[in-house]
Structure 1
Amino acid sequence: MNILVTGGAGFIGSHIVDDLVQAGHHVHILDNLSTGLKENVNASAVFHHGDLLDHRLAEVFAAAQPEVVIHHAAQIDVQTSLTNPLVDAKINILGTIALLEQCREHGVRKLIYASSAAVYGTPQYLSIDEAHPVRPLSFYGISKHTPEHYIENFAFLYGMDFTILRYANVYGVRQDPKGEGGVVAVFVDKLLGGRQPVIYGNGEQTRDFIYVKDIVSANRAALDKGSRGIYNISCNEQTSVNDLLKEMCSICGSSFNPSYEPARTGDIVHSRLDNRAALKALGWSPAFTLRDGLGATIAYYKMQYQAGF
């Protein structure tokens, strides 16, 4: 199968590309390397250096002739969306529209879209299922949710299939702790570097953490399942930031000694996503416990530190 992965040099996208290549698919990558890394690009994939609003996007589609497009290229940082909402909207909303137009022009069978738990905002109940009201607290949440409507309408108007995956808090190997990385990568960087981790708020806020390889398997399942559906991809478990850091300290052999800073604007207090719809429609379930995923992630970064990176 010919598959185009946008953001395929990034943290999550590169893992998906590796899996697709291993499965024997013909994979093209579109990435502008603003946050992705060239060293993440699978040697068996075809790499196109560019972004979604590049005038050469049509050329990428003509070269790739994709049957399926997996869309991960995005502005992913909540704080950036608050300080620069125009850039956030340009990348996440207008970029997705440009992609959809090329999908229509080139007869793409299906689009798989990486959405976010940020679309829900403050939970009215836990676990959050897909019927939960959508009331994002940040511009990032708005810019990830708005494309869902465009995708649904393009599908209705032009017959394209889609699956929308709303991710919980993803962590794992290749996540950049020095850029817009998630809390796990940031904590690993601090712990292995012998520096004090910072927790925003009192640390009792909870998140639903999911290992990147479980995200990969959900995307693999969505290639042929989950037609025109929206699904939470999560572990359906709550872990406080304090407990997360304690677990990581245990694995690293470090003492638990964080500093606490004021909570950040746009951050919710508690989150847990109900994943039962994905289990039913995609035949998917998470395979990694939090400790297993953290262990694999920390082992990777330890190797990087020992190699001098």
Structure 2
Amino acid sequence: MRILVTGGAGFIGSHLTDVFLDNGDEVTVLDDLSRGRPGRLDPSVVVHKASITDAAALRSIVERVRPELICHLAAQIDVRVSVDAPADDAVVNVVGTVNVLEAARAVGARVLFASTGGAIYGVDAPIPTPEDVLPGPEAPYGTAKYCAEQYLGLYNRLYGTRHAALRLANVYGPRQDPAGEAGVVGIFCGRAVREERPTVFGDGHQTRDYVYVKDVARAFLAAAQTDRPGVWNIGTGRETSVRELIDLLGQAAGRDLDPEFAPARPGELQRSALAIDAAARDLGWTPRTTVAEGVESVYRWVESGSPDRAGR
């Protein structure tokens, strides 16, 4: 299959590219390289530098590549940026997605969209949360992702396409910037390797569903091979607290860690975990990596110097 991955030089996108290459597919990447790094990719992969907000450039590339499938991961991913600049967030995450859908329609490509499971459901959602719970996002980022999902559904009804969305839990793993502003596992590992104290916002009892990046890449492969429309949660179905993460990281580091506590961030969900029964039933997908195994893997990656092609 010919596949185009938007945001393919990013943390998740580069792992996804590896999985499709291993499957024997022909993969091309489109990335504006604002966060992505070509060094994360196999040298055989062609990278087109362009933004999904540039509809003309995007369509020109898609018409040259003529993919059968577009895995759409390019996005504005920072929740705090979305709160500060909601219109800018919507330009990338809503208008950019419509641009991808239009480019895909021009060549008859199917779209698999990377949505959010961590930011789309509201504070009153049951735990673990199934896909049929009405979204109630608390930030513009989650609202934009939900709006983009609605466009996928509209195109399926209007044009008979078979686009699908994967609602991702908190994805972590090698190649996630340990010095970045997002990705608590990578950030904690980076601080632990530097022998600095991890900072916990709130009391540390807040939970998230941490899913390993290679499992996420396998979910995209399963959705590509299933060739059916739908919306699926991709997570572990299990809550892990920040305090549990620190304990697991201490085991990986071989020493007790002494976190420092800071005030809770406004609007942060106290609990989050995704029900994954539908993905198991419809896609034949379940996660393989435990949080303990994943945290160990990230710690060793950071300890080794955080090489771009690690986790291959």
Does TM, scored on the shorter chain, surpass 0.5? yes
Give unmatched runs, 5+ long, in structure 2: none
Map 1:76-91 → 2, pairs under 5 A: 76-91=77-92
- Which residue is 1:47 aligned to? 47
- TM-score scaled to structure 1, two decimals? 0.96
Query: Aligned equivalents of 1:275 and 1:123: distance in 2?
Result: 19
> What is the percentage of aligned positions where both structures have the same residue?
38
Offset, 1:305? 6.4
Q: For structure 1, which runs of at least 5 residues remain unmatched after alignment? A: none
Q: CA deviation at 1:306?
A: 10
Equivalent residue letter for 2:45? A
Which residue of structure 2 lines up, in the alignment, with residue 169 of structure 1? Answer: 170
Q: Give the equivalent residue in structure 2 for 1:251.
A: 252
Asked if residue 225 in structure 1 is aligned to residue 226 in structure 2, the reply is yes
Counterparts of 1:1-309 in structure 2, within 5 Å, are 1-54=1-54, 55-108=56-109, 110-117=110-117, 118-225=119-226, 227-304=228-305
Amino acid at match of 1:46: V
Q: RMSD over aligned Cα, in angstroms?
A: 1.5
Distance 1:306 1:66, change over 3 A: closer
Of stretches 298-307 and 98-107 in structure 1, the one that deviates more from structure 2 is 298-307
Please identify, of 171-180 and 213-222, the stretch whose mean Cα deviation from structure 2 is larger: 171-180
Q: CA deviation at 1:225?
A: 1.4
**Preserved contact between residue 226 and residue 281 of structure 1 (Cα < 8 Å):** no
- Letter aligned with residue 12 of structure 2: I
Q: Which runs of 4+ in 1 moved over 3 A?
A: none
The answer to whether the 8 A contact 2:120-2:137 is kept is yes
Query: How far does the alpha carbon of each residue in 1:186-228 deviate from its partner, in whole angstroms, 9 at most, with x for none?
Result: 1011100111110111100011111001001100001121611
Q: TM-score, normalised by structure 2?
A: 0.95
**Cα distance in 2, alignment partners of residues 180 and 111 from structure 1:** 29
CA distance in 2, matches of 1:138, 1:130: 19
Counterpart amino acid of 1:301?
V
Deviation at 1:255, TM superposition (A): 2.1
Counterpart of 2:99, as a letter, is A
Instruction: Give the stretch that moved more between structures: 291-300 or 199-208.
Output: 291-300
Separation of aligned partners in 2, 1:23 and 1:180:
33
Once the 2 structures are TM-superposed, how far is the Cα of residue 254 of structure 1 from its aligned partner?
Answer: 3.0
